[in-house]
Structure 1
Amino acid sequence: MITKEQLQNVADKLGIDLAMLQAVTKIEARSSGFKNGLPVILFERHIFYRQLKKNGFNVEHLAKTYPDLINQVAGGYLGGARENYRLNMAKQIDPQSAIESTSWGLFQIMGFHWQLLGYESAQQFEQYMTESEEMQLDAFYRFISHKTNCKLLQAMKDKDFQVFAKLYNGPAYKKNSYDTKLKEAYESYATTTK
């Protein structure tokens, strides 16, 4: 479990309000990076399709054989621990592509960012994401503070919930009201931390 002090330390390093970081933590993974001892994950079959193709696999053949795991269209989500089951099935096809096709932990950082974030391999990234919420927080810090994500960091500093939600979750953020949920969570934390 991440402490308020750990969150404050990262918020200070990023130059953002603690309440903003708390809001992102709450909305992205419902305040928990683990459930029943397993990391909270979401396996993305459309990303698996892309990563397998990038890594030289015959994705057309594989997609016909495993359409629930490999597909050009997002979906097929089972939720909860069953996402870990989907990941394990995908690892039997290609461990690296499977890890890269999964969003991990408190902040749902995609595995394909492992190199950008300074991990030695996708497997090392997975190891850290399954170790602790503190390691998941470190991955988020690495992600937000990376120079390629300066607009995300600026949106957090400006409390621009719409821009943050769009950049962090993609164009479907409106369908899930991520911006509204973030704003409400921020306001709740901001009033309790004063």
Structure 2
Amino acid sequence: MSTSKPTLTLADFSEAAARLNCEVPAIRAVCQVEAPRGGFNPDGTPVTLFEGHKFHKFTGGRFDAQAPDLSYPKWTKKFYGKDWMQEQDRLQRAMALDRDAALRSASWGKFQIMGFNHAVVGFPTVQKFVNAMYTGEREHLLAFVQYVVNNNLVGTLRRRDWAAFALGYNGEGYAENKYDVKMAAAYLTFKKKEA
């Protein structure tokens, strides 16, 4: 059975750029920085990153002692998996403790949208959001468009104000990971390819 999923086309990027009234290279820059290896793992599951500080928040810290690598009060990269399989394992173990909280505590797909944002991107439940993330990268892109619109980030993307966009998209720790610098560099690369 094939594990390949539909990937984004230039037409998909163009449609999203038209909806946001921004440049295609701007969207592609975000895409490149968020999930440089694509939206799916080799086994066909969406790329995820499980955040233990969110799991701690959504479960009231009740698993901190039982699973200190999955539930902790402050953000850290210390427990991130070294590869996609370890990340899948972390998510599965968290799901065994509290499925809904685990799904909300992971970022999903090509644009790494957190599960707790399911309503912001148009899904009534986190499970419906996750189901959509399994279908293809077009759904990842549509969720991204909704996220940008509903979080008032359209202007920052249009202006390519990468620091303001990264703050709104990645949170206050964006500078530590240099998201703004990486997006600016990726934008220039894609812009040159267009010329």
Say whether the fold is shared (TM-score over 0.5).
yes
Counterpart position of 1:18: 24
Deviates more, 1:113-122 or 1:178-187: 113-122
Match of 1:39, SS state, is: coil
Counterpart position of 1:166: 167
- Give the superposition deviation at 1:31: 4.8
Alignment check: 8 A CA contact 1:38 1:81 kept: no
How far apart, CA to CA, are the structure 2 residues paired with 1:139 and 1:188?
Answer: 24
Give the letter for the 2:55 counterpart.
F
How far apart, CA to CA, are the structure 2 residues paired with 1:31 and 1:14?
Answer: 24
Counterpart position of 2:184: 183
- Give the superposition deviation at 1:171: 2.1
Q: How many residues align?
A: 185
Alignment check: 8 A CA contact 1:25 1:31 kept: no
Query: After TM superposition, where is structure 1 displaced by more than 3 Å over at least 4 residues in a row?
Result: none
How far apart, CA to CA, are the structure 1 residues paired with 2:107 and 2:161?
Answer: 23
Q: For structure 2, which runs of at least 5 residues remain unmatched after alignment?
A: 1-6
Match of 2:107, SS state, is: strand
TM-score with structure 1 setting the length: 0.91
The answer to whether residue 82 in structure 2 is matched with residue 87 in structure 1 is no
How far apart, CA to CA, are the structure 2 residues paired with 1:84 and 1:132?
Answer: 18
Match of 1:42, SS state, is: strand
How far apart, CA to CA, are the structure 2 residues paired with 1:91 and 1:129?
Answer: 17
How far apart, CA to CA, are the structure 1 residues paired with 2:111 and 2:133?
Answer: 10
The answer to whether residue 132 in structure 2 is matched with residue 140 in structure 1 is no
Structure 1 vs Structure 2: percent identity of aligned residues?
A: 32
TM-score with structure 2 setting the length: 0.90
How far apart, CA to CA, are the structure 2 residues paired with 1:38 and 1:191?
Answer: 32
Counterpart position of 1:78: 81
Alignment check: 8 A CA contact 2:121 2:144 kept: no
Give the letter for the 1:43 counterpart.
F
Q: For structure 1, which runs of at least 5 residues remain unmatched after alignment?
A: 54-58
Q: CA RMSD, aligned part only? A: 1.2
Deviates more, 1:160-169 or 1:6-15: 160-169
How far apart, CA to CA, are the structure 2 residues paired with 1:193 and 1:166?
Answer: 27
Matches within 5 A, 1:115-130: 115-130=119-134
Counterpart position of 1:108: 112
